[in-house]
Amino acid sequence: MTIDWSWIGDHTDDLATLTVSHLQAALSAVLLGVLISLPLAVVAHRVRPLRGFLLGISNVLFTIPSIAIFVLLLPVSGLTRTTTVIGLTVYTLVVLLRNTVEGLDSVPAKTKEAAKAMGTRPLRTLLTVELPLALPVIMAGVRIATVMSISLVSVATYIGDGGLGQLFTDGFQRDFPTPVVAGVVLTILLAVVADAALVAVQYVLTPWQRRRA
Amino acid sequence: MYELFKNLGSWLTSGAQWSGSDGIAHRLAEHLQYSLLATLVAAAIGLPLGLLIGHTGKGAFLAINLASFGRALPTVGLVVLVFLAGGLSMLPVYVALVALAVPAIVTNTYAGMTAVDAGVKDAARGQGMRGHQVLFQVELPLALPLIMTGLRLALIQVVATATIAAYVSFGGLGRYVFDGLAQRDLVQVLGGAVLVAVVAVVLDVLLSTLQRFLFRHRTA
């Protein structure tokens, strides 16, 4: 199997476009996942009976194959980017919800009591005490969800989207390995870069953790 | 929408759809065969590796990074790549499925081993147990619940991904998904997708019940 380097040279523009589109799909899904899982996690954390229920639902959703989720969404949103993003979001929910709940659980009870004793209102305690302290665990979930989404975007190639995944279909149909190799390498690179970027974001957001590290 | 679900219902329940070489029963058997074989091979690779890393404490960096590499690897690309390199056989599908399952098994086995109380291991050594005795009689039994979780996770992922076999012209439940997509037959696509999801959920429930039954005496 030889790699046709001139093909890569001729298609740098296409590769760049696909990479951007790939990243866009994955990041939209993670963002949407965070927006949905954050309030749900707060509810699951505060209302014990709902906790098992919410985590259970997200676990069941996770067992549905990604291609099946995309296909099941076809009657609703058709062969569009929306289908890709919704499908990926469903997958991010399991990791994000579980980690956010665990993060909120890990906040010491004494810290919350201290906030209460100082007269801090519950909502303000949540925003300025609990969430910042839960951030490391939440960010660990965001990192996993991001890497997973980046790898899963390519599955959406079966429904006509898929970013870099289109290179796999293209290479397969023409019996031409170069685009496939380029697609695999770029997907992994994208995942590594995104993961490193999130580590940097976490470093900036949690200055109090730096001295310990 | 209602019409679609009615058609889907009759597709899933019609006797003709279940029999023959293109029938659901046969496709289901193929799907289970791919999934179980791939998970078995992955376990044969991942379990010893995870146990070794956990027991010796060497290569922890590898165990942790393997997980995130495994998540980043695009399965579709891997199947197509091995297919183009190796020609038409089931090998590409198995390579991709095993590559998907090994990281989950290694990291969970490793996690289970590290969760074993250091005091318990010291006590075992203090009683004069050899390295391999500590591994097989103390660490392994204590790490078993997490190891099982890893195997379960791997199997579910493999079942979901085995759909891909149909993409490179083999069988399994993915056949309906890809044939349906090619023929623009939404009912068939949905039927295949629903079946894969049901198999994944049923296996997950079965294995977690088995797990709970096996470890019913444990508190943790």
Task: Give contacts of A172 with chain B, Cβ < 8 Å.
Answer: 80, 83-84, 167-168
What CATH number is associated with residue B21? 1.10.3720.10
Residue of A nearest to B69 (CA): A188
Those residues of chain A whose CB sits closer than 8 Å to some CB in chain B are 1, 60, 62-69, 71-72, 74-75, 144, 147-148, 150-151, 154-155, 157-159, 164-165, 167-168, 171-172, 175-177, 180-181, 183-184, 187-188, 191-192, 195
**Is A210 inside a domain boundary?**
no
For residue B93 the two structure tokens come to: 């599908």
> Is B194 in contact with A72 (Cβ distance < 8 A)?
yes
Q: Do A147 and B177 touch (CB under 8 A)?
A: no
CA A152 to chain centre: 10
**Which residues in chain A have their CB less than 8 angstroms from residue B83's CB?**
172
CB–CB of B204 and A165 under 8 A?
Answer: no
Please check whether residue A144 is in contact with residue A95, taking contact to mean a CB–CB distance below 8 angstroms.
yes
Choose, out of B4, B71, B173, B204, the residue to mutate when testing the contact with A (most A CBs < 10 Å).
B71
What are the structure tokens assigned to A3, written together? 């790699």
Cβ–Cβ gap B68/A177 under 8 Å: no
CA distance A159 to B177: 11
pLDDT for A145 equals 92
With an 8 Å Cβ cutoff, is B72 touching chain A?
yes
CB of A213 within 8 A of CB of B106?
no
pLDDT given for residue B39 in this prediction: 95
Assigned domain for B131 exists: yes
Mean pLDDT of A123-145: 91
> What is the C-alpha to C-alpha distance for residues A164 and A182, in angstroms, rounded to an integer?
9
Q: Does B90 touch chain A (CB under 8 A)?
A: no
Residues of A in contact with B204 (CB under 8 A): 63
Q: Tell me whether residue B219 is in a domain.
A: no
Q: Is residue A212 part of a domain?
A: no
The predicted structure's pLDDT at residue B145: 84
Q: Is residue B220 part of a domain?
A: no
Residue B156 has its nearest CB partner, among A63, A69, A184, at A63
According to the model, what pLDDT value does residue B185 have? 85
CA distance linking residue B78 with residue B86, whole number of Å = 12
Helix (H) or strand (E) holding A89: helix A81-105
DSSP symbol at A80: S
Percent of chain A whose pLDDT exceeds 90: 54
Residues 6+ apart with CB under 8 A from A150: A22, A23, A26, A187, A190, A191, A194, B72
Q: Touching check for B211 and chain A: CB below 8 Å?
A: no
Say how far apart CA A3 and CA A176 lie, in whole Å: 9
Residue among B202, B104, B204, B101 at smallest CA distance from B147:
B104
pLDDT at A31: 97
Please state the rounded mean pLDDT for residues A50-61: 83
Report which residue type is found at B24.
I
A191–B72 C-beta distance less than 8 A: yes
* pLDDT tens-digit series, residues B31-89: 999 999 999 999 999 999 999 998 888 888 877 777 777 778 888 888 888 888 877 78
pLDDT at position B213 is 85
Q: How many Cβ atoms from other residues are within 10 Å of residue B106's Cβ?
A: 30
Q: How far is B96 from chain A (nearest CA, A)?
A: 13
pLDDT, tens digit (0-9, with 9 covering 90-100), for B129-182: 998 898 888 888 888 888 888 898 899 889 988 988 888 888 899 999 889 888
Is there a contact between B84 and A172 if contact means CB atoms under 8 Å apart? yes
Q: Answer whether residue A45 is part of any domain.
A: yes
Strands (E), chain A: none
pLDDT at position B218: 67
Q: What residue numbers bound the domain in which B27 lies?
A: 2-214
Distance CA B160, CA B156 (A): 6
Comparing CA positions, the residue from A16, A25, A28, A26 lying closest to residue A186 is A16
- Give the amino acid at B220: A
Beta carbons of B197 and A63 less than 8 Å apart: yes
Residues of chain A in contact with residue B192, where contact means CB-CB under 8 angstroms, are: 68, 71
SS3 call for A126: helix
Q: Is residue A213 part of a domain?
A: no
Number of structural domains in chain B: 1
Cα–Cα distance, A152 to A165 (Å, whole number): 9
Domain count, chain A: 1
Instruction: Identify the three-state secondary structure at position A213.
Output: coil
CA angle B173, B100, B104 (to 5 degrees): 120
Q: Token digits for A116? A: 């209460």
The 3-state secondary structure of chain B, one letter per residue: CHHHHHHHHHHHHCHHHHCCCCCHHHHHHHHHHHHHHHHHHHHHHHHHHHHHHHHHCCCHHHHHHHHHHHHHCCHHHHHHHHHHHHCCCCHHHHHHHHHHHHHHHHHHHHHHHHCCCHHHHHHHHHCCCCHHHHHHHHHHHHHHHHHHHHHHHHHHHHHHHHHHHHHHCCCCCHHHHHHHHHHCCHHHHHHHHHHHHHHHHHHHHHHHHHHHHHCCCCCC
Q: Is residue B89 part of a domain?
A: yes
pLDDT, position B42 = 95
Predicted pLDDT at A143: 92
B69 interfacial to chain A (CB closer than 8 Å): yes
Say how many CB pairs under 8 Å bridge A and B. Answer: 124
Residue-wise pLDDT tens digits, A163-209 = 999 999 999 889 898 999 999 999 999 999 999 999 999 989 888 87
Residues of chain A positioned with their CB less than 8 A from the CB of B76: 154-155, 157, 165, 168
**Domain harbouring A83, CATH code:** 1.10.3720.10
Domain boundaries, position A113: 8-204
CB < 8 Å to A195, chain B: 68
In a domain, A101, yes or no: yes
Task: Please give the Cα distance from B95 to B158 (Å, whole number).
Answer: 11
Kindly tell me the burial class for residue B159, based on how many C-beta atoms sit within 10 Å of its own C-beta (0-12, 13-18, 19 or more): buried
pLDDT at A119: 92
- Chain A contact for B74 (CB, 8 A cutoff): yes
- Residue A116 phi, psi dihedral angles, 5° rounding: -65, -45
Query: Would you say residue A84 lies in a domain?
Result: yes
Q: Is the distance from CB of A104 to CB of A117 less than 8 angstroms?
A: no
**pLDDT at A86 > cutoff 90:** yes
Domain assignment of residue A2, yes or no: no
Q: Would A104 be classed as within a structural domain? A: yes
